[in-house]
Every structure is written in structure tokens, then in C-alpha cells.
Amino acid sequence: MSAAELCTINVLTKCSACTTSGGSCFRFPDASSCSIASNSVPCINTTDTCGTKPAMCATLGQGSSFTLTYDSSFAPQSGVGQIFAISNFPLPATVTDFSLVSNVLPSKKIKVDAALFTGATSLSSLTFVNVDYAALSLTDLPATVTKVTYDTCGITDVSKVVLGPGVTSVSLKGNSLPSATPPDWLQFGKVTSLDLTGCNLVSNSNSGQLLWTFPPKLTSLDLSGNSGMTVIPSGVFSLSLTTLKLPTTINTNLQAISSDNFKVLSSIKNLLIPSATSCADPSATIKSLGTQTVCVKEVGSTSGSSNTGLIVGVAVGAVVLIAAIAVFFYCRRKKAAAGGNYYRQSRDRSGSVPRHRS
């Protein structure tokens, strides 16, 4: 959004005419818009790069939470009205939790520039709900931020999500991520909690699996609400999870897991998974995971025994081969020694070799 466009919409910004709350104000493109939104708050004129515009001075508390809600009404109860951008507006230093929420669907386009975070030295939680992510134009987040929420923000590619260096908790609820191709989690390296509720995740049509790997340090993963998933994704078994929530469409009757994978699920303290009532695989048995059940096929021990037998067989064969080689060389040396004795016994007592007479 260009500087000229910012002059034609309702903006949360700083106004020279406002002396409280660091000059914070809501600036409007015309007097009519300000009059509708201001309610009982007086409109004043302010002059900046947009020229002279009507504005309403904002009264900001010095609390730790800052929530701005976009409403479909021009004059909601808060008396703020519709805000389309946050520009040249630094958050107060006391703010630890910032929320920008839209009550209007589809996601609203609200522009946010980098100035928002310049003074937020204590900001730890950042929440955007029903806001068009692409329109936000975020490039980086403060290092103090540890929790980020981008719910229903129109995100389709997780590799494009902006995370700060300190983020460990991410929520992407309601974003459509139906790609069967594993996403690039490069910037999610420090993330320990990931919420993918209702993200249209789907199983591969051939394997029946969600062919995804996940950020390696995850301890909490929420996959609930993804009705396109029918099989427990294999990627979860390589994680050290304490919380795992799976969609109700997972068919545990048809999926028999290995004994090793059963141990992984058994170690998860907070597990939400549909229970198996019968096993389609006749060689599988139902086992309990607390109040839930799954089908387990004992394949780990058989595989282990086969591998052990193979190793022992190879070792015995090697020993036999070495022994045969040793016997061969022993016999050869003994035969050579016997030939030398015969040659020595053919000499006469004087030590010379007898000559044949003609």
C-alpha cells in the first residue's frame, strides 16, 4: 500500500495535534468518516504528509495487552470504526500481547508497517485473526516474541510465514494447506508447539499417508479438524511429543501400527486419537493407550530375530572359510617339507650326491 493510498483510508497512526498517548490517533480521509466513527469523541484536524485531515485522538492505557478489533460497523461500541491500516504507530513499551482481530470474513486487508514494533521492547505474543496475511507485509518480528498466531489469514505456504528468532509456539488454524508436498519448515527450527487445526491437510491418494515431515523440536502438535486425513502420519513417530491431537477421521481399525510405533504413542501424555474397535488385519491385536485403543502388529521382534540370524550365519561362514584356508596352507607346507627330506637322504655319507656309472 502506497503512501498516497494511506491518505484515503482509516488509519491508526500518530498525529501532531494529539498530545496524549504519544500522539496516537485514528486519522480519517474526510470529515464524514470521522463523524460516523467518533461517536462522542470529538474530531479534530491534524496536518501531516497527507495534508490536513480529520482525526480522533486515541486514549491508550499502559496495560500489557493491546487488542484492535476490525468490525463491519462504522460505529461499533468501541467508537473506533473500521481501521484499514496501522502506519507510523509504535506500540507502547508496556505491551506484551498484541492482537489484531477481524470479525468480518473473508479475511480483511489491513496494512501493518514495521514501525508497529519499534517501541515494543517487551512484546512476547502476537495474534492476527481473520486478517489477510499478504496485506500485512511483515518482514520480521522482534526477538522478544515467543508466541505467534496467524489464524484464518489466507496462508497457503508455511515457508512464507514470518517468524522471529525467539518464536517457539505457532498457530496456523484455519489456513488452507492441502499440498501433498512436505513444506519447508526451515524457519520453524526452534518451534516446539504447532497448531494446524482445520488446515485442509489431506492424505496421499496412493499411500493413504500425509507425506509430511514436521519441525524436529516439536513437543506439541494439533492436527485435529483435518477431515481429509485417514491415517496416522508417519512423521509423528520420529518426534518426542508430549501432546498429539489427531482428527476423528483417522481409521485406526484399518491401520495396524508396529510395536515400536505403539511405544511412541504410549509415551505421549496428552493423546487424542479415535479408538479402534476391531482390526482389519487378522495378525493385529487391539491394545490400549489409556482410554483409547489401536491395532498393533507385532513385526518388530520377528524382524529383529531375522537380522540376528543373518549376522550369526555370516559370522559362522567366515570362521569356516578362514579355517579351510589355514588347513590348505598347512598341508601345502607339510608336503613341501617331505620333498626336501627325500632329497637330503639321497646324498652319501660324505655329503656328495652319488653319480651314476656309465
**Global confidence as pTM:** 0.78
Burial class (CB in 10 A: 0-12, 13-18, 19+), 230: middle
Q: Are residues 175 and 226 in the same domain?
A: yes
Which of 119, 138, 155 terminates a domain? The answer is 119
Question: Residue 205: inside a domain, yes or no?
Answer: yes
159 and 272 housed in the same domain: yes
Counted domains in the chain: 2
Assigned domain for 106 exists:
yes
Assess whether 177 and 274 both reside in one domain.
Answer: yes
Same structural domain for residues 66 and 192? Answer: no
Q: Are residues 170 and 282 in the same domain?
A: yes
- Residue-level pLDDT at 336: 59
270 assigned to some structural domain: yes
Q: What range defines the domain where residue 55 resides? A: 1-119
**Is residue 98 in some structural domain?**
yes
Classify residue 113: in a domain, yes or no: yes
* 153 and 113 co-located in one domain: no
**335 domain-assigned:** no
SS (H, E, C) the chain: CCHHHHCCCCEEEECCCCCCHHHEEEECCCHHHHHHHHCCCCCEEEEECCEEEEEEECCCCCCCEEEEEECCCCCCCCCCCCCCEECCCCCCCCCCEEEEEECCCCCECCEECHHHHCCCCCCCEEEEECECHHHHCCCCCCCCCCEEEEECCCCCCHHHCCCCCCCCEEECCCCCCCCCCCCCCHHHCCCCEEECCCCCCECCCCCCCCCCCCCCCCCEEECCCCCECCCCCHHHHHCCCCEEECCCCCCCCCCEEEHHHHHHHHCCCEEECCCCCCCCCCCCEEEEECCEEEEEECCHHHHHHHHHHHHHHHHHHHHHHHHHHHHHHHHHHHHHHHHHHHHHHCCCCCCCCCCCCC
Residues 113 and 255 in one domain: no
Does any domain span residue 203?
Answer: yes
Residue 220 and residue 87 share a domain: no
- Residue 254's closest CA among 292, 282, 234? 282
Q: Is residue 267 part of a domain?
A: yes
Q: How far is CA 174 from CA 90, 188, 254, 350, in A?
A: 29, 19, 28, 110
* pLDDT tens across the length of the chain (358 residues): 677 888 998 899 999 888 877 788 889 999 888 877 666 678 899 998 899 999 988 776 667 888 887 766 544 444 456 778 899 998 888 899 999 988 877 678 888 888 899 888 999 999 999 999 998 888 889 999 999 999 999 999 999 899 999 999 999 999 999 877 788 899 999 999 999 999 999 887 666 778 889 999 999 999 999 999 999 999 999 999 999 999 999 999 999 999 999 999 999 999 999 999 999 999 999 999 999 999 999 864 444 434 444 454 545 455 556 766 765 666 666 665 555 544 444 444 444 444 544 4
